[in-house]
Structure 1
Amino acid sequence: MNKLTIEERAKILHLLCEGMSIRAITRLTGASKNTASKLLIDAGKACAAYHDANVRDVKASRVQVDEIWSFTYAKQKNVASAKAAPDAAGDTWTWTALDADSKMIVSYLVGGRDAEYAMGFMDDLAARLANRVQLTSDGHRAYLEAVEGAFGCDVDYAQLVKIYGPTLTAPGRYSPAECTGAKKIRVEGSPDIAHVSTSYVERQNLTMRMHMRRFTRLTNAFSKKVENHAHAVALHMMYYNFVRIHKTLRVTPAMAAGVADRLWEIADIAQLVADAEEAPKKRGPYNKRT
């Protein structure tokens, strides 16, 4: 069986990270759909493992958290009537925690939007930080208990609660409600009210939609399996943190946060995949026959 070179893998991964669909990649590169899909899965696993092991002891002062919506297989309202819908079909949320200064994604999680996922997300975030931070979230109620459980009183936490009114423009199918204002509410510690904001992490939501085809609205590029959706998110986070130079900072977020000491290339991610393939596997128990 033919094996892709590092350069060929890097090209496919780069196209995936820049928002191209798998079918478009197959037309441009000549690789099969199964090859591109398997590379995405392998890269997602390698990137998630690298992030988990190396994004630790992050020295941040202000962290913003948010959730972004997408769906797997079918939208939630259509799951009941969908044919052979898997268990994880429906709404899929990606939780992100961003360092407001370095713009690095410190923690992320793919799953539901309930209290259980909120607690898992906050526990992971707390384990990756090196010091006390000012934390800002939206008004999602699940954050209250999750932040308390993960940080206790060792956090300066505030919520930015947006106030919505009726739609002022002509109503349409996808017309959101008009945001008429926002309240800054202190929840724990002594947060600086001037820095209670979710602007940076919400801007990151746009970056995710632009760089992952699976997040593009009104297309058929949505994920059919939640596992592949999570792999795509892991690849994007690695690319965003370590490879893509932030326009304002002029370095990558990982370099700005002190997590990386050099500029990564997409070939470095491809090498992570190759290294994971070559890693020795544990042997099973051996029973000697007598």
Structure 2
Amino acid sequence: MSVALPACPSCQSEDVVKNGRTRHGKQNYKCRDCGRQFVENPQWRIISEETKGIIDRLLLEKLPLAGIARALQISELWLQQYVNQKYKLLEREVQVRPKPKSRLRVQMDELWSFVDHQGNKQWVWLALDAQTREIVGVHIGNRSAASAQALWQSMPPVYRQCAVIYSDFWSAYELVLPSKRHHAVGKETGKTSYIERFNCTLRQRISRLVRKTLSFSKKLDNHIGAIWLFIHHYNASLPANSSCPL
């Protein structure tokens, strides 16, 4: 008794023959009419633009890549490649609304994180506009004065020219920031409360920043890319003409 062979997925022809096996051991078939080679129940599929849009939104939530792959039933390898390319193309410069040259208030702080292992510390340096709540400066690196300088240089010129800056007592700030406009303050003053709250938001929304995470970054570029992706989304989501974040 002969077993019916599957029809060709391209032309629906039933003139199909067996054509060896794939490298994964599956039976390969060939259509005699259109020449298409195929297997039954293929594991791969074309990822639609709609699915990619869902992936982009899920990357902004506290989900590991393995969890996204399981939920959407897609290849974890394909997802990692997609994310690598997305992070590579991200602009690494803050996008903020134009500001007049007037008195601005900025809060600065640094957030501990790591890549690959906890000995490879990567500090997330952030500057936040206390009025609009926009993130106006970002740098990921060590905790040295050079990183404080990189944070300062990442801010738009109007902030470097006009802003009064509040930070904690970390010595690197004093070495870099203009002394007449820099104020080192304690948490009890409330003058760094917005940036401290944003640090909590980052840890709640980016799984690789959770202190005891299993979703830690294995590549520095992806670590930086994940942070920049969220910051661009956060700034774009803030309501215009409002001092309150979403």
- Both proteins in one fold, TM over 0.5: yes
Name the CA distance, whole Å, in 1 between partners of 2:96 and 2:131.
Answer: 16
Contact 1:45/1:234 (<8 A) preserved: no
Contact 2:128/2:135 (<8 A) preserved: yes
Contact 1:56/1:127 (<8 A) preserved: no
Contact 2:96/2:134 (<8 A) preserved: no
Name the CA distance, whole Å, in 2 between partners of 1:103 and 1:18.
Answer: 20
Contact 1:56/1:129 (<8 A) preserved: no
Work out which of the residue numbers 42, 48, 51 in structure 1 matches 2:85.
42
How far is 1:226 from its partner?
1.2
Q: Which residue of 2 aligns with 1:159?
A: 184
Change (3 A) 1:204 1:232: same
Name the CA distance, whole Å, in 2 between partners of 1:10 and 1:232.
Answer: 16
Runs of 4+ in 1 over 6 A off after TM superposition: none
How far is 1:138 from its partner?
0.7
Change (3 A) 1:128 1:30: farther
Name the CA distance, whole Å, in 2 between partners of 1:121 and 1:203.
Answer: 19
Q: Does 1:15 align with 2:9?
A: no
Change (3 A) 1:44 1:6: same
Contact 1:57/1:130 (<8 A) preserved: no
Name the CA distance, whole Å, in 2 between partners of 1:241 and 1:30.
Answer: 31
Q: Does 1 or 2 have the higher relative contact order (CA < 8 Å, sep 6+)?
A: 1
How far is 1:127 from its partner?
3.0
Identity %: 29
Aligned residues: 198
Work out which of the residue numbers 138, 157, 163 in structure 2 matches 1:108.
138
Work out which of the residue numbers 117, 130, 133 in structure 1 matches 2:147.
117
Deviates more, 1:67-76 or 1:2-11: 2-11
Q: Which residue of 2 aligns with 1:97?
A: 127
Q: Does 1:207 align with 2:232?
A: no
Contact 2:96/2:235 (<8 A) preserved: no
Contact 1:73/1:224 (<8 A) preserved: yes
Equivalent position SS for 1:31: coil
Change (3 A) 1:34 1:257: farther
Work out which of the residue numbers 218, 234, 237 in structure 2 matches 1:240.
234
CA RMSD of aligned residues (A): 2.6
State the AA in 2 paired with 1:224. Answer: K
For structure 1, the residue ranges without an aligned partner over 5 or more in a row are 77-89, 163-181, 185-195, 244-251, 259-290
Q: Does 1:198 align with 2:241?
A: no
How far is 1:71 from its partner?
1.0
Q: Which residue of 1 aligns with 2:213?
A: 219
For structure 2, the residue ranges without an aligned partner over 5 or more in a row are 1-43
Larger proportion of helix? 1
Name the CA distance, whole Å, in 2 between partners of 1:202 and 1:5.
Answer: 39
State the AA in 2 paired with 1:102. Answer: T
**What do the CA deviations read for 1:152-179 (whole angstroms, capped 9, x no partner)?**
75xx2211146xxxxxxxxxxxxxxxxx
State the AA in 1 paired with 2:140. Answer: V
Change (3 A) 1:4 1:55: farther
Change (3 A) 1:200 1:106: same
Name the CA distance, whole Å, in 2 between partners of 1:145 and 1:22.
Answer: 39
Structure ID, larger Rg = 2
Change (3 A) 1:95 1:17: same
Equivalent position SS for 1:37: helix
Equivalent position SS for 1:25: helix
How far is 1:22 from its partner?
0.3
Q: Which residue of 1 aligns with 2:118?
A: 75
Name the CA distance, whole Å, in 2 between partners of 1:111 and 1:21.
Answer: 23
TM-score (norm 1): 0.61
Name the CA distance, whole Å, in 2 between partners of 1:35 and 1:160.
Answer: 47
Contact 1:137/1:158 (<8 A) preserved: yes
TM-score (norm 2): 0.71
Contact 2:108/2:166 (<8 A) preserved: yes
